[in-house]
């Protein structure tokens, strides 16, 4: 993993508005007891287990760093888990962009040209994502049509009606009040690491500034799309505005997301694993690394035999006897569940049988098929047969899922012993 990076030094009076979506996935969502000042917690329909946190009111870039740092510190202290479901959106004020949208077009051209490099600076879940589609159109007339830029909007709420899910959203450029005009960048993955949150904010502010330099953009749009050229372009812009550290942050972020685990990192991750299974979030916090790299490294350690994987968790590799003992312990913990499930099954069958009136005997009928004692030896009605069959199938499916999850022969034997007619995985004809 790359070493920690110093924050880029940049100066801008542009207002910025940050939206961070935190979703804990299948884990418990934890958050600070008090949400830091300057931030609002909001419900977001795209999240299943979390909230969106919005910096409001918007602040000048020059004033926002302490507020962002306090927020990141609070959520790191709360050990908030962040899955790949959420995103990071930032609005950057573009009050000085021209009304004919030449500046906006240059911004989209730069973003589109270096899209492959920008993709390497965001999480893989944010590439090809329908909520932050890559910039594929950078023609001025097409952009005007796509965002209805010739239709004035009296306020931001009205302008919002023409937004789309492009990585660069120009809808707010319709506002008649220049101070309300912003460019929304939607592609970054969510984070609570200050270097990631603030570095991306700085990069987006720099791109908004850079797009006003027609000569500089024209030259770099003619050059090859490489990480080196993207960094050189930012370096040239930085020298013009007195900024430092932006190109270095881009390299750090690229390595942070894409570097292969080093032997030293593998040793560090192995040391973080214990005899108790640990999930991805726990391991990522222990080694202070992003989820994708930690998962890759953990799987490499499994292949090498250093770790074992149990479901979605990793554990230190034990001896053969310890492995068997752990599996038996898991099995013993699961057997009561199977027992309760089978007991409930029997109770449901008895309840259904008791609620069905006795079937009428059919004259000269063949010998009746044996049924549960509560029904007697009469031929069941079609309705009763269908209901019992549905219950049988539902319980069999539950048993299959339990056995497949455990994948233990002992469970299969226990189930068969209690319910010999149940068909288990691997026994299908």
109 falls within a domain: yes
**pLDDT beyond 60 at 417:** no
pLDDT in tens, 338-371: 777 788 777 777 777 777 666 555 555 455 555 4
- Average pLDDT (166-182) is 96
Residues 337 and 205 both lie in one domain? no
Alpha helices in 78-189 (DSSP H): 102-113, 115-119, 140-147, 156-159
* Residue 47 within any structural domain of the chain: yes
Q: Are residues 228 and 343 located together in one domain of the fold?
A: no
- For 168, counting Cβ atoms within 10 Å of its Cβ (0-12 exposed, 13-18 middle, 19+ buried), the class is buried
Contact present, 14 and 205 (Cβ < 8 Å): yes
Using the predicted structure, report yes or no on whether residue 383 has a pLDDT greater than 90. Answer: no
CATH number at residue 285: 1.10.10.10
Question: What range defines the domain where residue 391 resides?
Answer: 324-359+371-418
Structure confidence at residue 259 (pLDDT): 83
Residue 85 pLDDT greater than 50, yes or no: yes
**Do 119 and 173 lie in a common domain?**
yes
**What's the pLDDT score for residue 276?**
84
* pLDDT over 70 (residue 401): no
69 shares its domain with 132: yes
What 3-state class would DSSP assign to 372? coil
Tokens of 137: 């159109």
Residue 183: closest CA among 86, 84, 111, 118: 111
Question: Which has more confidence, 384 or 9?
Answer: 9
CA distances from 97 to 107, 201, 241, 247 (A): 10, 19, 18, 25
Q: Are residues 35 and 180 in the same domain?
A: yes
pLDDT at 414 over 60: no
Q: Please state the rounded mean pLDDT for residues 50-79.
A: 97
Same domain, 207 and 355: no
What whole-number distance in Å separates Cα of residue 163 and Cα of residue 413? Answer: 59
When pLDDT is averaged across residues 74-80 and rounded to a whole number, the result is 95
Q: Do residue 78 and residue 217 come from a single domain?
A: yes
Q: Could you give the C-alpha distances from 32 to 29, 75, 155, in angstroms and in order?
A: 11, 6, 34
Residue 15 phi/psi, 5° resolution? -75, 145
185 and 64, same structural domain?
A: yes
Per-residue model confidence (pLDDT) at position 275? 83
Q: Tell me: do 44 and 93 sit in the same domain.
A: yes
- Indicate whether 400 belongs to any domain: yes
pLDDT at 38: 97
DSSP 6: P
What's the DSSP call for residue 405?
H
The verdict on 277 and 303 lying in the same domain is yes
Task: Name the residue with higher pLDDT: 5 or 295.
Answer: 295
The reported pLDDT for the residue numbered 397 is 72
Query: Does residue 59 lie in a domain region?
Result: yes
pTM of the model: 0.72
Q: Band of the pLDDT at 206, cuts 50, 70, 90?
A: very high
| Structure confidence at residue 214 as a pLDDT band (50, 70, 90) | very high
Q: What is the pLDDT of residue 384?
A: 62
Between 409 and 284, the higher pLDDT residue: 284
Q: What does the pLDDT average to over 305-319? A: 84
**Residues 243, 247, 249, 250, CA torsion sign:** positive
Residues 40-63 have a mean pLDDT of 95
The CA distance from 192 to 29, in Å, is 14
pLDDT confidence bin for 290, thresholds 50/70/90: confident
51/190 Cα distance (integer angstroms): 12
Q: Is the pLDDT of residue 207 over 50?
A: yes
Phi-psi label, residue 388: left if phi above 0, alpha if psi -120 to 50, beta otherwise: alpha
Using one digit for the tens of pLDDT, what is the confidence trace for 317-339? 874 456 566 666 767 777 787 77
Q: If pLDDT is split at 50, 70 and 90, which confidence band does 377 have?
A: very low
- Is the domain of 269 the same as that of 245? no
Q: What percent of the chain has pLDDT over 90?
A: 60
Q: Which residues contact 146 (CB under 8 A, 6 or more apart)?
A: 137, 164, 166, 170
For residue 162, what are the contacts with CB-CB under 8 A and spacing of at least 6?
Answer: 147, 148, 151, 153, 171, 174
Q: Encode pLDDT of 131-161 as tens digits.
A: 999 999 899 999 999 999 999 999 999 998 8
Q: Please give the average per-residue pLDDT across 117-124, as a whole number.
A: 96
Looking at residue 356, its pLDDT comes to 67
**Would the pLDDT of 200 be above 90?**
yes
pLDDT of residue 420: 47
Overall number of domains in the chain: 3
pLDDT at 310 over 90: no
Do residues 279 and 249 share a domain?
no
Mean pLDDT of 242-256: 96
Q: For 1-30, what is the mean pLDDT?
A: 90
Whether 342 is covered by a domain: the verdict is yes
pLDDT band at 415 (very low <50, low <70, confident <90, very high): very low
Q: Which helix (H) or strand (E) holds 186?
A: strand 182-189
Asked whether the predicted pLDDT for residue 46 surpasses 60, the reply is yes
Task: Please determine, for residue 380, whether its predicted confidence score (pLDDT) is greater than 60.
Answer: no
Residue bearing the bigger pLDDT, 317 or 394:
317
């Amino acid at each position: 993993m790359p070493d920690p990076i110093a924050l880029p030094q940049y100066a801008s009076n542009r207002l910025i508005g940050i939206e961070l979506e935190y979703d804990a996935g299948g884990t418990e969502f934890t958050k600070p007891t008090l949400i830091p000042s300057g931030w609002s917690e909001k419900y977001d329909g795209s999240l299943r287990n979390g909230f969106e946190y919005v910096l409001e009111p918007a602040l000048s870039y020059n004033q926002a760093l302490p507020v962002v740092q306090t927020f990141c510190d609070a959520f790191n202290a709360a050990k908030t888990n962040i899955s790949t479901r959420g995103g990071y959106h930032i609005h950057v004020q573009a009050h000085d962009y021209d009304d004919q949208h030449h500046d906006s077009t240059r911004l989209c051209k730069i973003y589109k040209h270096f899209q492959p490099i920008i993709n390497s600076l965001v999480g893989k879940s944010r590439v090809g994502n329908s909520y932050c589609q890559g910039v594929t159109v950078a023609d001025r007339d097409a952009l005007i049509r796509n965002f209805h830029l010739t239709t004035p909007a009296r306020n931001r709420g009205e302008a919002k009606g023409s937004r789309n899910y492009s990585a660069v959203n120009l809808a707010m450029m319709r506002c008649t009040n220049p101070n309300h005009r912003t460019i929304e960048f939607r592609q970054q993955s969510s984070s609570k690491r200050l270097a990631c949150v603030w570095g991306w904010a700085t990069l987006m502010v720099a791109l908004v500034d850079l797009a006003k330099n027609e000569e500089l953009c024209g030259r770099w749009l003619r050059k090859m799309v490489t990480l080196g050229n993207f960094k050189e372009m930012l370096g040239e812009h930085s020298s013009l505005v007195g900024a430092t550290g932006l190109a270095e942050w881009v390299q750090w972020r690229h390595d942070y997301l894409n570097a292969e685990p080093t032997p030293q990192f593998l040793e560090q991750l192995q040391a973080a694993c214990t005899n108790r299974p640990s999930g991805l979030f726990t391991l990522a916090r222990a080694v202070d690394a992003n989820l994708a790299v930690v998962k890759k490294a953990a799987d490499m350690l499994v292949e090498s035999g250093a770790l074992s994987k149990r479901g979605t968790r990793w554990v230190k590799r034990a001896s053969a006897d310890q492995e068997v003992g752990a599996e038996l312990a898991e099995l013993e913990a699961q057997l009561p569940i199977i027992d309760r499930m089978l007991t409930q099954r029997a109770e449901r069958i008895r309840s259904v049988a008791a609620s069905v009136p006795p079937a009428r005997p059919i004259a000269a009928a063949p010998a009746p098929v044996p049924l549960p004692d509560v029904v007697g030896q009469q031929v069941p009605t079609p309705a009763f047969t269908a209901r019992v069959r549905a219950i049988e199938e539902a319980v069999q499916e539950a048993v299959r899922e339990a056995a497949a999850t455990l994948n233990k022969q002992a469970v299969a034997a226990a189930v068969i012993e209690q319910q010999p007619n149940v068909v288990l995985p691997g026994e299908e004809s």
